Structure 1
Amino acid sequence: MIAALTAHITHEDRRFIAQHLDPAQAALFWQMNVPDQRHALNVAYTALKLAADEHRIDRDLLIRCALLHDVGKVKGDVSTADKIMTVILDKFAPHWARQWGRKGRGGKLANFRHAVYIYYNHAARGAAMLQAIGAGAKMVGIVAGHHEAPAAGEPPELGIIRRADSLN
């Protein structure tokens, strides 16, 4: 929680983003709130370290997917308090929470249900956003699958994204 409250983006981070994302992808990145942007950058930097000795990794794809893996979390969609309560709810009643979440903002209860919906559906939402800007199928699939269990035949970049995400 403290990391979210103190998150910031440096000049070097901005250069890194500009170097690796095209304008449409960068626009999606900048739609996230600063804590989610910081998290995505941390995932990208960690993913690069994890892939250092891997020869079969497309590093450009890895970086783009790491930076964009949470673009389904759009700034203003979820309050910090709702995000915290959602994480707690997921810890104690994940099955119930997944069913209870609903898309659509409104009053306090509707906003909280929307936060729960975003928590569980941001990967699919982000994948749809990427598909809408013409991102490749491999990138869309990696973003869509970053919270799913590993499966045979999936791209090796996806496994690295999952590990880097769990470390950050």
Structure 2
Amino acid sequence: MSKRVKQLVSALSARITQQDREFVASHLTAGQAALFWQMNLPDQRHALNVAYTASALGSGDCTIDQELLLQCALLHDVGKVRGDVSTFDKVLTVILDKVAAGWARGWARPGRGGKVANLRHALYIYYQHAARGAVMLQAIGAAPAMIRIVERHHQAPAVDDEPELVILRLADSRH
């Protein structure tokens, strides 16, 4: 089964346990948690899976700020807000990105409305959620390192990337 099919099945069957809720509460401030809980259930489940994987990948490495890593993993997709994009539009967005990424990126526009506007908005969120999330984190006074990592998590690797960003990208690519 392809990675994207697994992601769709995971999204459709997403659940949050009491243990997951406690994990979020133990690693995020009230403002950060409010952003986390604004995401839709599949994105919350994805963020938790990324956080658990990042924790395992970063454990034992004294150069890693474990708390920063976990917070960034939990918040890396906060630019995707519940109700912004339907599941159907999300599926179409992934397909359009695979078959016509350049066109899709140029066609993307914010603003919901009819079916076409909603699809354009879904593409906008798909391509801009990292920058959007960084703005949301800045608005609640998050640490500059967290804002930078969330903003850059879909950018190409650079020599000055924080080790937490490197691990976040690796963990995100596995989910």
**C-alpha distance in 2 between matches for 1:105 and 1:54:** 44
Give the aligned partner of residue 171 of structure 2: 164
Give the aligned partner of residue 60 of structure 2: 53
The root-mean-square deviation of aligned C-alpha atoms, in Å, is 0.6
Matched, 1:120 2:127: yes
Give the aligned partner of residue 5 of structure 2: none
Alignment match of 1:87 (pick from 72, 89, 94):
94
**C-alpha distance in 1 between matches for 2:162 and 2:31:** 23
Tell me the matched-pair count: 168
8 A Cα contact 2:59 2:66, kept in partner: no
Alignment match of 1:17 (pick from 8, 15, 24):
24
Aligned pairs (5 A) from 1:11-160: 11-160=18-167
Task: Output one character per residue of 1:98-153: Cα deviation in whole Å (capped at 9) or x when no partner.
Answer: 11000000101000000000000000000000000000110000000000011111
TM-score (norm 1): 0.99
Task: Output one character per residue of 1:5-59: Cα deviation in whole Å (capped at 9) or x when no partner.
Answer: 1101000000000000000000000000000000000000000111123220000
TM-score (norm 2): 0.95
**C-alpha distance in 2 between matches for 1:130 and 1:141:** 10
Give the ranges of 4+ consecutive aligned residues of structure 1 lying more than 3 Å apart after TM superposition. Answer: none
**C-alpha distance in 2 between matches for 1:36 and 1:121:** 15
Counterpart residue type for residue 140 of structure 1: I
8 A Cα contact 2:72 2:150, kept in partner: yes
Structure 2 runs not aligned, ≥5 long? 1-7
